[in-house]
Amino acid sequence: MTSILWARFKLLARRPGATILMTVLAMAFAYFLGGTNGGKEPVPVYSHLSGAPEKALLKELNQSDVFSFHLSSLKGIKKDVSAGESSVGLEVYPDRYNVIVIGENVQKSLLDPFVQSVYAENSQKTAIAAANPAVDQKKIERVFQESKKHPVFTMNDTSMEGKLSVDNSNQLQAIFGFTLFFSIYTIAFSVFGLFNERQQGVWNRVILSPVSKTSIYLGHLIYSFVVGYAQIALVFSVFHFVAGVDFHTSLGFVLLLIAPYVFAIVAFSLLITSLVKTVHHFRALIPLLSVSMAMIGGAYWPIEIVSSNVMISLSKIVPITYGMDLLKGVTIHGYEWQQSFYSVVILLLMGIIMMGISINVMERKQTA
């Protein structure tokens, strides 16, 4: 088995291009589509204010941990929102504001309460200043800041799933989704090395050696698992330690929970390898299946927004669904390991069943 592993890793060292490409693509898609620029969603603002009041309002708005506000023209905002380049825009007046958006979306539901709170606070300051004209405005501001640091009472929001969804949920959705998606390509093409050995006659020569079939299979599958797992670990580590993305739990815990998903994808790739007849069939089938699984399993968008019962039913047979459930559960919803046990068991069962079927098919082909 170790000789098989050593040979596969030497081949990887000679031709690392595909693995590196998949890793870079996963990082690039997650970075640009997940809004990893500090984790803030850019919001264009058209202001009917000017001078000091405008600067003060923008400063208060930019204290948000979710949004980054910048001035723009009203025409430009409407054009960007209509074209989908901006999910939401803002038009501000001295005493009111308008949210510019097409339909309802998650960003509007997050933006509206925040802007409303900023305006409510400014109204309170104005009322206090009008009632106490002798009090300096800076003193009023100090009182407000002190009240924020030491509130009279606090509230904790919770949901039925655990803790309230975190502010960077969209960012984590993109990181997890695209990482799991591109890992399918890496794992599948590493498993496909087994098919190439059969096609080129290398398999028959290896069988004649003292190495058992079990060791041969284990060598190839462990190699594919290690390569796929290392890619996911590298992507998550770069986003966590370099880009500063907060996973809201231990990175080690996240990486531990992703192991069943990698195992299931290795088994899925082996199943496809056992069924195809040519390299061209495999290269055509893997992109089709991986994209379909990503769409159905909630890698491209949250599965929670899907309303079709058919699509939800199909997602139950896709490994990426349970991989996303594991990652989002422990990071966004604050699940403990006990709450993730169901997804872990399903992925392990999927992997065992697919691996058993694929090895049986490959052995039958060998003896036929």
- Please tell me the distance from the alpha carbon of residue 196 to that of residue 205, in angstroms, as a whole number: 13
- Provide the residue type at 246 as one letter: D
Phi first, then psi: what are they for 71, rounded to 5°? Answer: -75, 145
Predicted model pTM: 0.68
Residue 34: per-residue pLDDT: 63
Could you identify the residue written with the tokens 């803030």?
A: 40
Residue 165: per-residue pLDDT: 47
Quick one: CA torsion of 124, 127, 129, 131, rounded to 10 degrees?
-140
Phi first, then psi: what are they for 150, rounded to 5°? Answer: -130, 75
Question: Which residues on adjacent β-strands are paired with residue 42?
Answer: 68
Using alpha carbons, select from 224, 183, 217, 225 the residue that is nearest to residue 198: 217
Name the helix (H) or strand (E) containing 162: strand 162-163
Phi first, then psi: what are they for 293, rounded to 5°? Answer: -65, -40
As averages over each run of 10 residues, the pLDDT of the chain (368 residues) reads 72 80 84 61 88 87 83 90 84 90 72 86 75 65 61 53 54 88 90 70 58 75 91 92 83 91 93 84 88 90 80 90 91 81 93 90 71
Residue 164: per-residue pLDDT: 44
Sheet hosting strand 41-47, strand order edge to edge: 67-71, 41-47, 89-92, 97-100
Residue 263: per-residue pLDDT: 95
Write the DSSP symbol of residue 338. Answer: T
Question: Which residues on adjacent β-strands are paired with residue 47?
Answer: 92
Query: CA dist 130 to 52, 134, 141, 145, 216, Å?
Result: 19, 9, 14, 19, 82
**Which pair of structure tokens corresponds to residue 158?**
């919770």
Number of H helices, E strands in the chain: 16, 6
CA 263 distance to own-chain centroid: 19
Phi first, then psi: what are they for 249, rounded to 5°? Answer: -165, 180
Q: Please, are residues 80 and 86 in contact by the beta-carbon 8 Å criterion?
A: yes
Question: Which residues on adjacent β-strands are paired with residue 191?
Answer: none
Domains annotated for the chain, with CATH where assigned, are 2-35+168-367 (no CATH), 41-163 (3.40.190)
Collapsed DSSP state (helix, strand, coil) of residue 70: strand
Question: Which residues on adjacent β-strands are paired with residue 82?
Answer: none
Residue 111: per-residue pLDDT: 84
**Which pair of structure tokens corresponds to residue 184?**
């399918």
